[in-house]
Amino acid sequence: MQLPHVTWTGPMADDNELLDQLPPDLARLLRQIDGFIQFSGGLHVRGACREPAWHSLRDAWLGEHAFHRLYPDVRPDDVPFAQDCLGDQFLLRDGQVWRLSAETGEMRSLDVALFGFLEAADPVEYLSMHPLLRFMREGGSLEPGQLLAA
């Protein structure tokens, strides 16, 4: 799979127990590249690692502040594999990608599987890139692990 505009890649996967619990497509991806950031912070795909915590899929899915503990519409088996630059989450549910609005908690299906999402993920269709592009035009940049405030 081609991953254009990757600006950061995660450390080697060190959470094999977690990899064994993931949907097969996500586990296969994370065994090849253990998470990454695209579009200078526009998309962050979490990794099967224990550190850094901001990159850890385990923390986001199963940890003390897991998304299913914070948002009533998120199920414990929804896998929060990625986020955009504003902290909206992308979750795998029954083989499909869903978007969770961080501000409202609203969930909606994108009607696409993981690899279809990653191939189609672009600033216009799925990602909240307009604020990031404006921020970058003004001289700002996001470091790995940082988000913009809505």
Q: Where are the domains of the chain?
A: 6-137
Q: Which residues of 86-121 are buried (b: 16+ CB within 10 A; e: fewer)?
A: bbbbbbbeeeebbbbbbeeeebeebebebeebbeeb
Per-residue pLDDT, 7: 94
Q: pTM of this prediction?
A: 0.95
Mean pLDDT (the chain) is: 94
Average of pLDDT values for 129-140? 93
- The band of 134, judged by pLDDT with boundaries at 50, 70 and 90, is very high
Cα 12 to Cα 103: distance, rounded to the nearest angstrom: 32
Q: Which residue stretches of 65-128 are H helix?
A: 67-70, 114-120
Q: Pick the closest to residue 125 from 97, 94, 105 (CA basis).
A: 97
- The band of 135, judged by pLDDT with boundaries at 50, 70 and 90, is very high
Average of pLDDT values for 10-32? 96
Average of pLDDT values for 40-54? 95
